[in-house]
């Protein structure tokens, strides 16, 4: 696939296309110049659908997944190293009919003194014209539906800015307060028991699962078996379990396990542990809690990535546990999509209704651009697909013909980019009529939402004025008396200054200030890591990828640092990182920064409170 010279229509700025490869690869610099958005729509019905390849502070018309060409994205300019200047100019490319397909660009940061760095960006060229969206595509939500119409219940959530699990009620809202026994934990992906009395989560700081009573009076660590290092990161209840009650957890990227449990008034009895799934060497689960996973009896809904051309390709996936949920699922029990390719087709926030009838997640790169809420601006709901169901095309037909609902967020957020408004963290309530999620991003109004997904009515559970940076959330109808009478919600207050990283036994008191969870960086961006400490001490700094499965020294830091002095570290993000002679892709949805005491690294350390992402 060659680019034609006649397509190069516009030349301004400091950088230019320096070459093209026969398979559709082009090399451009790391700082695109301003572009006229009309060039991307042109007169053709074929336009470049690029993944925000512009760099911050430079206007760029982002047309991926239906964002209008007239919408301009502002992004931060990459800093030029001292003593060097950028060379040449940029040339835009307007693809034509012959260019339709998947393309990878190779970008270079080019300076007068020569090549600085190189990285890759996949893009997709496709027709974008008027589309007939399915009848269940709901682009006009009911904005601010009446919360008072809700039956009584409660919701829990975590925050990216402080530890603990928080709880409040609806429709009458009590103060959002921290469940006492969770104040030292960083809970991942909380799930509520069917009775509403117990909550299970994984503490991200220790990678141990816990169950806690809603009133916080008792808490128990969930025993695990045969877990890989840094796992589990996710756990939850097996709904409608064939063993009455089970808690599942991801033991490795290929295996799911579950332990039997019996809840009594003030205790939990744990029984035998069993293997739920082993998907073999050619598939991988994603351990990132932001991706989500749910199990209902024989059904598993998660990201299940096949190996295609030697690389794992992220896929929204369905897995069936044989023998009505009592057997062990293998690779043969994974639902097979047809017309699979090397493209990434997955969403975040995978969840199942408690009866297993419906699955929900962000749309990711699935579906037709005009008919999906891209960039975390809503979600889809579909039936569960068992392994022996008729295969469908994930990229195009799944959402267009086989979903149940496609739900767009309130209109004032629909044309924003993800860093401005990020809707995600989906969880079905116990009556299956509602889905809860959270809104993050730079815009005010962050917090927890409840959605009547059948009517697409959106209800704020936290006020826009509070602007709460919620990360994971779950909700339950009923059990409100437990919240009110046992916890005395009206008088129970939270010490919002509590931070376990500054406790007396933390030695130097290291803290990772930023990035601290929820940020999204692109290859080519400059990442600024900010560290602090209570006392002078030498420390090492790590970059963790894939939920901690890959740990490398922070790029460019070859010796220990002193956080009270060296409080800011910077990295112009490349597409790979190195550890010794090994190289790893830097692209990951579950990244973290860890600062460790140089003398006692396993005793005194701090980690980003939540995961951040690096995207192509």
How many angstroms separate the Cα of 94 from the Cα of each of 239, 369, 547?
A: 50, 18, 38
pLDDT range class, residue 162, cuts 50, 70, 90: confident
On the question of pLDDT at 192 being above 70, the answer is yes
Structure tokens at 560: 């220990």
The Cα angle at residue 74 between residues 71 and 80, in degrees rounded to 5: 145
Q: How far apart are CA 551 and CA 545, in angstroms?
A: 6
With pLDDT > 90 as the criterion, what percentage of the chain qualifies?
38
pLDDT range class, residue 63, cuts 50, 70, 90: very low
What global pTM score does this model have? 0.65
Q: How far apart are CA 486 and CA 469, in angstroms?
A: 27
pLDDT of 596: 82
DSSP three-state, residue 97: helix
For residue 286, give the nearest of 356, 222, 350 by alpha carbon: 350
On the question of pLDDT at 207 being above 80, the answer is yes
pLDDT of 602: 57
How many angstroms separate the Cα of 547 from the Cα of each of 157, 257, 290, 591?
A: 20, 19, 10, 6
Q: How far apart are CA 510 and CA 605, in angstroms?
A: 6
pLDDT of 418: 79
Instruction: Look over the chain and give the mean of its residue pLDDT values, rounded to a whole number.
Output: 76
Q: How far apart are CA 587 and CA 75, in angstroms?
A: 19
- Give me the torsion for CA of 15, 19, 20, 22, rounded to 10°: -170
pLDDT range class, residue 240, cuts 50, 70, 90: very high
**Residue in this structure with the two tokens 């509520």, named with its chain if needed:** 192
Q: How far apart are CA 219 and CA 142, in angstroms?
A: 39
pLDDT of 549: 62
Mean pLDDT for 9-35 is 26
pLDDT range class, residue 80, cuts 50, 70, 90: low
Cα torsion 128, 130, 135, 141: sign:
positive
What is the H or E stretch that residue 283 is in? strand 283-285
Higher pLDDT, 311 or 467: 467
CB 319 within 8 A of CB 333: yes
CB 597 within 8 A of CB 103: no
Q: How far apart are CA 16 and CA 19, in angstroms?
A: 9
pLDDT range class, residue 496, cuts 50, 70, 90: very low
Structure tokens at 202: 């994984």
The conformation of residue 74, written as its DSSP 8-state character, comes to -
On the question of pLDDT at 45 being above 80, the answer is no
pLDDT of 588: 86
CB 132 within 8 A of CB 164: no
CB 214 within 8 A of CB 197: yes
Q: How far apart are CA 183 and CA 289, in angstroms?
A: 20
CB 15 within 8 A of CB 89: yes
| Per-residue pLDDT reduced to its tens digit, 556-609 | 887 778 887 767 888 889 888 876 666 778 888 888 898 887 766 656 778 888
pLDDT of 556: 82
**For residue 57, how many other CB atoms are within 10 A of its CB?**
11
CB 167 within 8 A of CB 159: no
What is the H or E stretch that residue 306 is in? strand 299-308
**Residue in this structure with the two tokens 């997904």, named with its chain if needed:** 453
| Per-residue pLDDT reduced to its tens digit, 96-125 | 445 555 555 444 555 555 545 554 555 555
End-to-end C-alpha distance for the chain, whole angstroms: 21
For residue 29, give the nearest of 103, 80, 97, 75 by alpha carbon: 80
CB 202 within 8 A of CB 233: yes
Task: Give the distance, in angstroms, between the CA of residue 545 and the centroid of all CA atoms in the same chain.
Answer: 13
The widest CA-to-CA distance across the chain, in whole angstroms, is 75
How many angstroms separate the Cα of 119 from the Cα of each of 104, 308, 434, 586?
A: 10, 21, 42, 10
Structure tokens at 285: 């689960």
Beta strand pairing call for 25-28 and 101-111:
parallel
On the question of pLDDT at 238 being above 80, the answer is yes
Q: Where are the beta strands (DSSP E) in 395-533?
A: 405-408, 422-428, 434-440, 447-452, 457-460, 470-477, 511-514, 520-522, 526-532
pLDDT range class, residue 223, cuts 50, 70, 90: very high
**Residue in this structure with the two tokens 């939270």, named with its chain if needed:** 494
Residue 576 pairs in a beta bridge with 585
Give start and end residues of each alpha helix (H) in 141-250. none
Q: Where are the beta strands (DSSP E) in 429-567?
A: 434-440, 447-452, 457-460, 470-477, 511-514, 520-522, 526-532, 539-545, 550-553
């Amino acid at each position: 696939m060659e680019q034609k010279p006649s397509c190069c229509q516009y030349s301004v700025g400091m950088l230019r296309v320096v070459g093209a490869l026969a398979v559709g690869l082009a090399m451009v610099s790391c700082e695109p110049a301003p572009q006229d958005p009309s060039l991307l729509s042109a007169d053709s019905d074929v336009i470049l659908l690029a993944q925000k390849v512009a760099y911050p502070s430079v206007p760029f018309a982002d047309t991926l997944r239906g964002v209008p060409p007239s919408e301009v994205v502002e992004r931060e300019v990459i800093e030029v190293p001292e003593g060097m200047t950028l060379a040449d100019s940029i040339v835009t490319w307007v693809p034509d009919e012959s260019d339709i397909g998947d393309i990878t660009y190779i970008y270079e940061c080019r300076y007068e003194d020569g090549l600085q760095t190189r990285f890759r960006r996949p893009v997709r060229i496709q027709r974008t014209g008027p589309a007939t969206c399915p009848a269940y595509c709901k682009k006009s939500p009911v904005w601010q539906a009446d919360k008072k119409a809700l039956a009584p219940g409660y919701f829990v959530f975590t925050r990216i800015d402080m530890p603990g699990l928080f709880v409040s009620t609806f429709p009458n809202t009590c103060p959002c307060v921290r469940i006492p026994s969770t104040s030292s934990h960083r809970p991942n992906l909380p799930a509520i028991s069917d009775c509403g009395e117990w909550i299970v989560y994984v503490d991200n700081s220790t990678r141990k699962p816990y169950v806690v009573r809603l009133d916080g009076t008792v808490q128990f660590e969930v025993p695990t078996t045969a877990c890989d290092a840094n796992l589990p990161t996710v756990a939850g209840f097996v709904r409608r379990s064939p063993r009455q009650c089970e808690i599942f957890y991801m033991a490795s990227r290929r295996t799911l396990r579950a332990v039997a449990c019996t809840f009594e008034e003030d205790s939990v009895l744990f029984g035998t542990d069993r293997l739920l799934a082993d998907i073999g060497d050619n598939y991988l689960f994603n351990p990132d809690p932001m991706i989500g996973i749910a199990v209902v009896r024989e059904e598993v809904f998660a990201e299940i990535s096949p190996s295609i051309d030697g690389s794992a390709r992220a896929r929204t996936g369905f897995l069936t546990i044989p023998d009505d949920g009592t057997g062990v699922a293998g690779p043969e029990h994974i639902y097979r999509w047809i017309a699979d390719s090397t493209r990434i087709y997955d969403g975040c926030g995978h969840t199942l209704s408690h009866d297993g009838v419906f699955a929900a997640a962000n749309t990711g790169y699935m579906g037709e651009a005009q008919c999906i809420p891209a960039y975390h601006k809503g979600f889809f709901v579909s039936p569960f697909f068992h392994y022996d169901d008729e295969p469908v095309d994930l990229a195009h037909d799944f959402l267009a013909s086989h979903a149940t609902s496609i739900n767009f967020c309130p209109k004032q957020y629909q044309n924003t980019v993800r860093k401005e408004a990020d809707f995600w963290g989906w969880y079905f309530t116990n009556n299956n009529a509602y889905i809860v999620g959270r809104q993050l991003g730079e815009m005010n109004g962050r917090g927890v939402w409840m959605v009547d997904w059948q009517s697409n009515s959106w209800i704020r559970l936290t006020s826009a004025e509070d602007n709460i940076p919620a990360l994971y959330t779950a909700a339950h109808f009923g059990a409100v008396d437990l919240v009110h009478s046992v916890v005395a919600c009206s008088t129970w207050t939270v010490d919002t200054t509590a931070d376990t990283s500054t406790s007396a036994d933390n030695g130097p008191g290291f803290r990772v200030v930023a990035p601290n969870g929820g940020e999204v960086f692109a290859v080519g961006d400059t990442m600024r890591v900010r560290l602090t400490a209570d006392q002078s001490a030498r420390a090492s700094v790590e970059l963790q990828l894939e939920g901690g499965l890959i740990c490398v020294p922070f790029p460019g830091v070859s010796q220990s640092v002193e956080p009270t002095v060296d409080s800011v570290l910077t990295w112009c993000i490349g597409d790979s990182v190195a550890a010794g002679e090994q190289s790893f892709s830097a692209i990951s949805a579950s990244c973290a920064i860890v600062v460790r005491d140089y003398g006692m690294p396993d005793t005194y350390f701090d980690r980003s409170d939540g995961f951040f992402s690096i995207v192509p």
